Amino acid sequence: MSLINKMLQDLDARSSGAAASQGGSSAVRPVTAAVRPMPRMLLILAAVAGIVIFVVAAIFAWRALTRPSPSSLSASAKAAAPAVVAPAPAAVVAPPSIAATPPAAAPPEAPAPAPVQAPPIPSAEAKTAPVGIAPSEAPAKSRSAEKRRIETPLRASPALVRSTIGEKEEARLRGDAGLSKVQQAENEYRRGLSAMQEGRVHDAIARFEQTLANNPRHEAARQTLIGLLIENQRGDEAMQHMQQALALDPAQAQMAMLLARLQMERNGPAIDTLQRTLPHAAANADFRAFLAGALQREQRHAEAVEHYQAALRLQAGNSVWWMGLGISLQALKRNAEARTAFNEAKTGGRLSPELQTFVERKLQQLPN
């Protein structure tokens, strides 16, 4: 439970300075999330911009090199003109030959003269015509092919990435298919730790949640998940996981204390949470003092005195607990006992300067 201990200690350290102004009650402050910079996005944007600039420059350079010259265009136009006029005489001569032939003989002899062969006469000119046209058509086709060749990988890259991720996920599922739920949970937990070390917080959270789905009693995964959720200001989700943990095992005193602290921030049922765990933590001095502070916060001083005294019987040298006991005794008008408790807190030598000043002021307020 070292992680839970650390989170409680951090919260206690933040709230100890405000005990005086709160009448001895613990001031609860929300845990702030660590914001991680994302330099990878800048690198990706820079790379994409470089590729786009390169592609545009290549297209313009290709157009400049393959643009046909004006002389070639004029030559092609001159060469193309006779090619259009030359077939006209052939078309005029062909009908008389067909008309002069008797109707009976026309069908067998019509294919023989092969009027279709007349157009090859201007073949020299016809061959010249495409020469002027080819340079304008070929570059257009080559440019479109080049553009398709360059753009296709760019368009396909996200799908390729998704395909790669999908293949890895399928391979992972196939590898875990024959394992038990406990073994699958352990594998997911290790993947979650790797994702957390690489800074992929959302992936890590998903992995730890899957771990708990396979094995709800995986305490290491639950504690790590709760810590990540609190750091990322997802306290409500963290509280749900803590409630699930306590439902499985209500004897987790530190888990109950952490849940109660978050519930106090939201004016929730913190005391109810602690009292459900109390039968399993009656001999835990820290737990009894924490419950006493929660009761004192709700002005339930008689119950707070009972739990402070129980905590001090288990660990008598805690000056903060003596101070808390003195506050509740003073509220109950048990001034003599309150003075004794404040003196114990003052002479214990473990109070911060602010709390030391607070205790001295309380002693001055008590009647002699």
**Picking from 56-65, 153-162, 212-221, which range would have the lowest pLDDT averaged per residue?**
153-162
Question: Based on the structure, what is the number of domains in the chain?
Answer: 2
**Mean pLDDT value across residues 126-133:** 40
CB 345 within 8 A of CB 351: yes
Q: What is the structure's pLDDT at 148?
A: 58
- Residue of 315, 352, 345 whose CA lies nearest to 328: 345
232 and 258 co-located in one domain: yes
Is 156 in a helix, a strand, or coil? helix
Q: Return all residues near 312 (Cβ < 8 A) that are at least 6 apart.
A: 285, 318, 321, 322, 325
Q: Is the pLDDT of residue 176 over 50?
A: yes
DSSP 18: T
Q: What is the structure's pLDDT at 368?
A: 74
Alpha carbon distance 286, 100 (integer Å): 125
pLDDT mean across residues, the chain: 75
Alpha carbon distance 167, 171 (integer Å): 6
- Residue of 193, 213, 215 whose CA lies nearest to 204: 193
Report the predicted TM-score, pTM, of the whole model to 2 decimal places.
0.57
267 and 342 co-located in one domain: no
Q: Which of 240, 263, 281 is the last residue of a domain?
A: 281
Q: Is the pLDDT of residue 16 over 80?
A: no
269 and 296 co-located in one domain: no
258 and 354 co-located in one domain: no
264 and 314 co-located in one domain: no
Q: How far is CA 40 from CA 36, 45, 46, 170, 192, in A?
A: 11, 9, 10, 26, 21
**Residue at 324 is within a domain:** yes
**Residue at 46 is within a domain:** no
Q: What is the structure's pLDDT at 102?
A: 37
**Residue at 66 is within a domain:** no
185 and 218 co-located in one domain: yes
Q: What is the structure's pLDDT at 295?
A: 98
206 and 248 co-located in one domain: yes
**Residue at 113 is within a domain:** no
| Look-up of token digits 């590898």 | 175
Q: What is the structure's pLDDT at 248?
A: 96
290 and 366 co-located in one domain: yes
299 and 256 co-located in one domain: no
**Residue at 366 is within a domain:** yes
**Mean pLDDT value across residues 334-360:** 95
Q: Which of 281, 300, 335 is the last residue of a domain?
A: 281
CA 3 to chain centre: 23
291 and 271 co-located in one domain: no
User: 296 or 75: which carries more pLDDT confidence?
Assistant: 296
Question: What is the pLDDT confidence band of residue 57, given thresholds at 50, 70 and 90?
Answer: confident
Q: Which of 281, 314, 329 is the last residue of a domain?
A: 281
Going 256 to 258 to 259 to 261, the CA torsion angle's sign is: positive
- Residue of 161, 157, 154, 143 whose CA lies nearest to 52: 154
Question: What is the pLDDT confidence band of residue 182, given thresholds at 50, 70 and 90?
Answer: very high
DSSP assignment of 333-347 equals T-HHHHHHHHHHHHH
268 and 236 co-located in one domain: yes
Alpha carbons within 13 angstroms on the beta-carbon side of residue 4 total 21
Q: Which amino acid is at 254?
A: Q
Alpha carbon distance 235, 145 (integer Å): 55
**Residue at 23 is within a domain:** no
Q: How far is CA 66 from CA 54, 128, 129, 139, 265, in A?
A: 18, 20, 19, 6, 73
Q: What is the structure's pLDDT at 124?
A: 40
| Maximum mean pLDDT: which of 22-26, 58-62, 107-111, 262-266 | 262-266
**Mean pLDDT value across residues 260-270:** 96
**Residue at 95 is within a domain:** no
Q: With 0-12 CB in 10 A as exposed, 13-18 as middle and 19+ as buried, what is 328? A: buried
**Residue at 103 is within a domain:** no
Is 298 in a helix, a strand, or coil? coil
Structural domain boundaries, residue 267: 1-6+175-281
Determine phi and psi for 102, rounding to 5 degrees. Answer: -60, 150
288 and 357 co-located in one domain: yes
Q: What is the pLDDT of residues 82-123, one digit of tens each?
A: 444 444 444 433 443 333 333 343 444 444 444 444 444 444
Q: What is the structure's pLDDT at 50?
A: 75
Q: What is the structure's pLDDT at 122?
A: 45
User: 15 or 238: which carries more pLDDT confidence?
Assistant: 238
CB 194: neighbour CB atoms within 10 A? 13
Specify the CATH number for the domain of residue 267.
Answer: 1.25.40.10
Q: What is the structure's pLDDT at 39?
A: 56
